[in-house]
Amino acid sequence: MHQPLYLVLLAGLLVQSCRNSSPKNESIAQDSLSTNDWALLPFQKVDSLNPILIPSPDELFMDPIWKKPVKWEEKDVFNPAAVVRDGKVYLIYRAEDKLGKYAGVSRLGLAISDDGLHFRKEPKPVFYPDNDAQKKYEWEGGTEDPRIVESPLGGYIMTYTAYDGKTARMMLATSPDLRKWTKHGPVLGEGKQLNTWSKSGAIVARQKGDQVVAEKVNGKFWMYFGDTNLFLAQSDDLIHWEPLLEADGSLKPIVRPRPDRFDGQLVEPGPYALITEKGILLIYNSARPMPEKKNALVYTAGQVLMNGQDPTQVVARMDEPFFVPDKPYELTGQVNNVVFLEGLVYFKKKWFLYYGTADSKIAVAVHE
C-alpha cells in the first residue's frame, strides 16, 4: 500500500475532520435498504486452496530500463484484476521485485485458469514501466493495482496506478487481448489535478453473461476513483475523462470515510462498479486505525449502492465490513492486516472475487 505518510501519522485528525463533514449526498437514504438485500453476499473464502497465487522468485525478465535480467516477482504478488475471456479466467496481477530505492518495482503479470481456482502464470510481465512517454510517472515505483472492464466497442479498458516515488496517479491503458497494451497516460492529465494522489479507478459496467462491459448512464460513462475519498469522473469515449469538481476547482467527494467505523480512515474502489436492478453496486476497500497498534491500519471491504440514474447519489451503504483479514496469510506479510479486493468475475454461474492478502499473495472467495 503506497499511503502518504501523513495519512497514517495524522489518522486522528482525519477522523475528526470526517466527523465534522458528513456529505449531503449520503444523508438521503442510508436506512432505505438497511437489510443489505441489495448487496452481493455472501462470499466464502476458498480455504482449501488459498492463497492461490504466490511469488515465483526465479522467473527472469529483461527489464528495458535496468537493461538487465530481473527477478520480477521475487518479492510479492497481489491486487489482481480479473476478466473472463474464451471460457477462462484471466488475472492481471501486481508483482514486485526487490530492486531500487523503494525496495521493489511493480509490474503486471498474467495468469490463466480453466476453473477460476487453479492458475498457471505466464513467465514474463505483460505490462511494465518502459522507456516511453509514461516513464516519468511510472518509474521507479512501477505499475500497480489494475482494474479492467471490456469496452462496448471491443477490447479492454484498464485503469492502473503509476507510482513515481512521490505521487500515485491513476492511469489508463487499452488492449485487444490482455497482452498487448497501449498506454494513454494520466486520467487527470490536465490542469492542477495532474499531480493529485488519484490512485485507482472503477468504471461503471454491466454484467452480460460472463462478460462485464462498460455502459453509459444518462449518456455518459462513469468512473469512481481515488483513495481517502471516492471521487467521480465522466467520459464520452472511455479514454478522456472529466472529474466532477467543487466550485473552487477541487475534486468533489462522492463517498467519504465515516468516523469510528470500519471505513473511518479511507475508502478506495474495489473492482468495477456493477449496474444492478437496484442501482450501481460498488465494492470498496477501506481502512481504519488499529487502536492497539500505533500508526497501523487494518484494511477491510464494504459495499455501497449508488443511484442507478444519478451516480453521484448514495442510496445505501453497509454499516459493517463484509470482508475482513482473518487468515494467517492476510494478517502477516509485506503490509499486515490487509485484504484488498480488485478482481470480480461471473464464471460457471458463480461470482469469483480475487484479492490481495497482506500485500504479499493472492486469494479467492466465491459467491454461489
Superfamily of chain region 5-367: Glycosyl hydrolase domain; family 43 (2.115.10.20)
Phi and psi at residue 36, to the nearest 5°: 65, 20
C-alpha cell belonging to residue 278: 437496484
> In angstroms, what CA-CA distances link 350 with 61, 92, 144?
35, 20, 27
- Contact assessment for residue 210 and residue 84, using Cβ atoms and an 8 Å cutoff: yes
Choose among 233, 280, 224: nearest CA to 255: 224
Q: What is the pLDDT along the chain (368 residues), one digit of tens a residue?
A: 665 533 443 344 333 333 333 344 443 344 444 589 999 999 999 999 999 999 999 999 999 999 999 999 999 999 999 999 999 999 999 999 999 999 999 999 999 999 999 999 999 999 999 999 999 999 999 999 999 999 999 999 999 999 999 999 999 999 999 999 999 999 998 778 999 999 999 999 999 999 999 999 999 999 999 999 999 999 999 999 999 999 999 999 999 999 999 999 999 999 999 999 999 999 999 999 998 888 899 999 999 999 999 999 999 999 999 999 999 999 999 999 999 999 999 999 999 999 999 999 999 999 99
Burial class (CB in 10 A: 0-12, 13-18, 19+), 294: exposed
Give the domain ranges of the chain. Answer: 5-367
- Residue 247, class by beta-carbon neighbours within 10 Å (0-12 exposed, 13-18 middle, 19+ buried)? exposed
* Helix (H) or strand (E) run with residue 8 in it: helix 5-9
Q: Report whether 225 contacts 198 (CB < 8 A).
A: yes
Check residue 215 and report its DSSP letter.
-
Exposed, middle or buried: residue 187 (CB in 10 Å: 0-12, 13-18, 19+)? buried
